[in-house]
Amino acid sequence: MKAIAHQGEGLDGATYRDMELSDVGQGQVCVRLKAAALNHRDIWTCMRAEPGGPPVILGSDGAGIVERVGAGVTDLAPGDEVVVNSSQDWAGRAEVPLGEYGVGYKILGFPDHGTFAEYIVIARHQLEPKPGFLDWREAAALCLVGITTYRALFTEGRLEAGHTVAIPGIGGGAATQALLFAKAAGARTVVTSRKPDKLEKARALGADLAVASDADWGQAVRDFTAGRGADIVIETIGEATWKASMAALANGGRLVVFGATGGGLVEIDLASLFLHWQSIIGTTMGSREEFQDMLAFTEKHQIHPVIDRAFPLAEGVEALRYLDGAGQMGNVVLDIDI
Ligand SMILES: NC(=O)c1ccc[n+]([C@@H]2O[C@H](COP(=O)([O-])OP(=O)(O)OC[C@H]3O[C@@H](n4cnc5c(N)ncnc54)[C@H](OP(=O)(O)O)[C@@H]3O)[C@@H](O)[C@H]2O)c1
């Protein structure tokens, strides 16, 4: 089958090529993928891969149609429409993965083969019904950013209606999804971007305040909230935005971090942290239970993920380079069989 796989070093190691599809084992399902979505993780995977390792199909996000099921799978059948949960082998809502399926925690798309391919063979418990109101691109794009931002906002951030949520770097797929979820939950939202056109698009998506990333936006959040600050800051950039993110945080506020695209080494003023009862919380992905809750929340509020641009599977390497250039506003997707 055709796939975008990585072998070698950096983005140059990603190629469109033929890959073998494995047999469908006990408890597994073969899905014919209709669409997949890119995440910054795919770029990290290319950058960090061992040069001498075997080729690995990239991609964590996908949606498609069940092609065939393995022994023991009785609740899915060929023709069913599904989405892929890339947070592997984490079942129940818990602070950390508990190894419920008897194997260690992994994220799909390395070391296991991912979704940038015509087919994927995957454990039954990694699949959920595709929300009917989403098209294939939207369904694929929702998965990884959906579970991560849902957990970051609700489980870790303890978001309630009326809270203020600050989201620096709104161009990212995760950031736009966090904006949509926060708005649907009744929050007031402040976003930042380095690009004026993205600030405009964010306003159109419902951002209450949109400011330049290099402005004193910590102060802008305080002005916007009559001095109080943001109850929750969603950090995915790191070094470039950290200082303003901390300055934006309210007394008792929670800075939830799950990415460091702009570098991971930051300074923390401990006295300021404890004197303002603030928390810095790290999180990654989420459990199957949270994935199911996220799908239900998305359906209830009819939330359509933001699609920036679609590339055919054959142009997946160009799509990776486009994402690496940070020109996107929302999610970059691959059309596989649309
Ligand atoms: N741990 C997890 O479970 C998890 C899950 C999802 C994502 N992540 C991580 O979260 C991060 C975001 O991922 P993503 O795929 O949504 O988007 P992304 O491709 O990393 O882009 C995020 C956005 O950050 C802004 N940005 C990047 N570098 C910047 C800099 N130096 N200064 C200021 N702003 C900068 C840009 O926004 P503007 O163009 O608007 O300025 C960019 O569009 C990544 O690091 C990813 O690995 C982690």
**What pLDDT shows up at residue 80?**
98
Helices (H), the chain: 40-48, 136-150, 173-184, 196-204, 217-224, 242-248, 270-275, 288-300, 316-324
- Judgement on whether residues 265 and 142 belong to the same structural domain of the protein: no
Residue 64 Cβ inside 6 Å of ligand 1? The answer reads no
Q: pTM value?
A: 0.97
**Atom 24 of ligand 1 has which residue's CA nearest to it?**
169
Residue 169 Cβ inside 6 Å of ligand 1? The answer reads yes
- Judgement on whether residues 243 and 266 belong to the same structural domain of the protein: yes
Residue 284 Cβ inside 6 Å of ligand 1? The answer reads yes
Distance 172 CA to ligand 1 centre (A): 5
Q: In ligand 1, which atom is closest to the CA atom of 326?
A: 43
- Judgement on whether residues 86 and 136 belong to the same structural domain of the protein: yes
Percent of the chain with pLDDT over 90: 94
Is the pLDDT reported for residue 117 higher than 90?
Answer: yes
**What pLDDT shows up at residue 100?**
80
Confidence grade of residue 93 (pLDDT, cut at 50, 70, 90): confident
- Judgement on whether residues 121 and 234 belong to the same structural domain of the protein: no
**What pLDDT shows up at residue 102?**
76
- CA–CA dist 118, 135 (Å, integer): 18
- Judgement on whether residues 70 and 16 belong to the same structural domain of the protein: yes
Number of structural domains in the chain: 2
Is the pLDDT reported for residue 69 higher than 90?
Answer: yes
The pLDDT tens digits for 280-315 are: 999 999 999 999 999 999 999 999 999 999 999 999
**What pLDDT shows up at residue 277?**
98
- Judgement on whether residues 164 and 74 belong to the same structural domain of the protein: no
Read off φ and ψ for residue 271, nearest 5 degrees.
Answer: -60, -40
Distance 39 CA to ligand 1 centre (A): 9
**What pLDDT shows up at residue 103?**
77
- CA–CA dist 21, 330 (Å, integer): 31
**What pLDDT shows up at residue 99?**
80
Range of the domain at 63: 2-146+286-335
**What pLDDT shows up at residue 59?**
98
The pLDDT tens digits for 125-152 are: 999 999 999 999 999 999 999 999 999 9
Distance 335 CA to ligand 1 centre (A): 22
Query: How many other C-beta atoms can be found within 10 angstroms of the C-beta atom of residue 15?
Result: 14
Residue in the structure block whose two tokens are 């899905």: 31
Distance 127 CA to ligand 1 centre (A): 26
Specify the CATH number for the domain of residue 80.
3.90.180.10
- Judgement on whether residues 166 and 45 belong to the same structural domain of the protein: no
Confidence grade of residue 267 (pLDDT, cut at 50, 70, 90): very high
